[in-house]
Chains A and B, each alone.
Chain A
Amino acid sequence: MESGSLDSYIEIENLTFYRGERLIFDDISVNIPRGKVTAIMGPSGTGKTTLLRLIGGQLKPTRGRVCVDGQDIAKLSRKELYLAREKMGMLFQSGALFSDLTVFENVAFPLRVHTRLPDVMVRDIVLMKLEAVGLRGARDLMPSQLSGGMTRRVALARSIVLDPAMVMYDEPFAGQDPIAMGMLVKLIRLLNDSLGLTSVLVSHDVAESASISDHLIILADGKVIGQGTPSQLKNSDSELVRQFMNGLPDGPVPFHYPAQTFGNDLLNL
């Protein structure tokens, strides 16, 4: 299936974004299909996390539009934006758990702020979400007592506690041991399918991302250099895409940071 014919949840049109003087995105257009797991990949420093922040409305595009579920995020008022965010969950790279609250209270936080549910019900919902990530038994621990993988799973439970329509994952696999990584891969897929979410995943772990996502988007140098299903991309004609997908050390993305020739440098010319 062509990606253009899918029902899109997020539409990014002609997006240009500068951070200070630096051009991060140069007129990119991508669609993120509804109900699928989409992975945004690319070398470090290409602004993958920035793209998530643009989708979440924490940054505003210099030019172009970012539409989530038909709403232009940059045009919303402060109040509408906060309302729209209740339908988005986001898993931060560090987990970003509140260090002064227990695991249980961390997961309960969005419920306590946005709803007036009685405590009994909050408890049931929180236990349900913690059960889904396998940490019901850890509810009384403080975030400082958790391992890295557990922190991310608690954060995941917190990001789905309001039953959002979309969850964004910022580098969910970075710095995880193989067991934790396997668990997260399984959880992301499982949650997406059982809750009917749209998942957007930012990562540079090619193998893991390719194994769970339906749709891949590869960014480099501020442009989209390839998109499609994982198998389409593995056999792509583009040398850059192939270098990235196969993890080759040298290619269109050079191994060396730009410099004068080594000989001149040694002779101090």
Chain B
Amino acid sequence: MLDQVRSLGRNGLQTLQTLGRSGVFLFFVIFTSQSIRISFPLLVRQLYSVGVLSLVIIIVSGLFIGMVLGLQGYNILVDYGSEQAIGQMVALTLVRELGPVVTALLFAGRAGSALTAEIGLMKATEQLSSMEMMGVDPITRVISPRFWAGFISMPILAMIFSVVGIWGGMMVGVDWLGVYEGSFWANMQASVDFQDDVMNGVIKSIVFGAVCSWIAVFQGYDLVPTSEGISIATTKTVVYSSLAVLGLDFVLTAVMFGGV
């Protein structure tokens, strides 16, 4: 009994310590001083590996999710004779919810885990230490560009996801099931508000981008440098990112769309 209380206390303290460490770490990552001449090329390279290379999975998933939404939506709406509203349904679902959330989940699995494993392996092979000994701060050189690349990529990927999804919904609804194209687009235009829907979706994906990148780089930097440590940290990145995204999504939705 006493042992259990003791281990509870120890685990609690450890969790708090890790949280504190990750906060200080984030501070250093954001407020680094490095000249643009050096940091810009590093950022571009990370934008490529984090953002551009995630495009395929984002586009393919967006397309299929949009198509499924079109199909399911049609089957429900047609019973009420309001299948023209399918454009509005697909667009609102994607822009408000599925775009940011599914992109963030895919991003955590595709890019977040890769970031953690890469940084962890650099730590395990002493590359980070050797950088320090060469008088180069690894946080500035390695971590910061990766964090910012994730932060910048996520909203763009989420927007691409929504656009592709709407196109997929249109393919199924209009081209296949024969909803009138004019009412598909007109309904969408009339009901999707730029400020309330599009911008709120973008804000969500910015928050998710920051959180997922933060978790990924911190788990990589803080892991125990063994092969087991890397596998644990990679798993943690995906699990924590997914939970954080889903939890934050509820909070953000409640703030944005709840109390009106």
Contact = CB atoms under 8 A, between A and B. Distances in A.
Interface of B: 38, 125-127, 129-130, 132-137, 141
A56 B141 CA distance: 19
A113 interface: yes
Contacts of A162: 134
Interface in A76-96: 82-83, 85-86, 88-90, 92-94, 96
Contact of A90 (B127, B133, B136, B141): B133
A96 B135 contact: no
Interface residues of A, number: 23
A85 B125 contact: no
B85 to A, nearest CB: 51
A98 interface: yes
A222 interface: no
B126 A96 contact: yes
Contacts of A90: 130, 133
Given A82-B135, A82-B137, A96 B38 contact: no
A35 interface: no
A82 B141 CA distance: 13
Interface in A55-112: 56, 58, 82-83, 85-86, 88-90, 92-94, 96-99, 109-110
30 contacts: A56-B132, A58-B129, A58-B132, A82-B136, A83-B135, A85-B132, A85-B133, A86-B134, A86-B135, A88-B133, A89-B133, A90-B130, A90-B133, A92-B126, A92-B130, A94-B125, A94-B126, A96-B125, A96-B127, A96-B129, A98-B127, A99-B125, A99-B127, A110-B134, A110-B136, A113-B38, A113-B134, A114-B135, A158-B134, A162-B134
Contacts of B133: 56, 58, 85, 88-90
A88 B134 CA distance: 8
A88 B129 CA distance: 13
A162 B137 CA distance: 17
B126, B129, B132, B134: residue with the most chain A Cβ atoms closer than 10 Å: B134
Interface in A117-161: 155, 158
B56 to A, nearest CB: 22
B10 to A, nearest CB: 14
Contacts of A85: 132-135
B55 to A, nearest CB: 21
A86 B131 CA distance: 11
Instruction: Rank and list the top 5 A-B pairs by shortest CB-CB distance, nearest first.
Output: A96-B130, A96-B126, A85-B135, A90-B133, A86-B135
Contacts of B132: 56, 58, 85
B136 to A, nearest CB: 5
Contacts of A109: 134
Contacts of A92: 126, 129-130
Contacts of A58: 129, 132-133
A106 to B, nearest CB: 10
Nearest to A58: B132
A58 B130 CA distance: 10
Contacts of B136: 82, 110, 113
Contacts of B125: 94, 96, 99
Contacts of B134: 85-86, 109-110, 113, 158, 162
A85 B133 CA distance: 6
Contacts of A93: 126
Given A82-B136, A88-B133, A89-B133, 12 more contacts: A56-B132, A85-B133, A90-B133, A92-B126, A94-B125, A96-B129, A110-B136, A113-B136, A113-B141, A114-B135, A158-B134, A162-B134
Contacts of A94: 125-126
A11 B38 CA distance: 36
Nearest to B134: A110
Interface in A201-251: none
B125, B129, B130, B133: residue with the most chain A Cβ atoms closer than 10 Å: B133
Contacts of B127: 96-99
B133 to A, nearest CB: 4
Contacts of B141: 113
A110 B135 CA distance: 8
Contacts of B130: 90, 92, 96, 155
A110 B133 CA distance: 10
Nearest to B137: A82
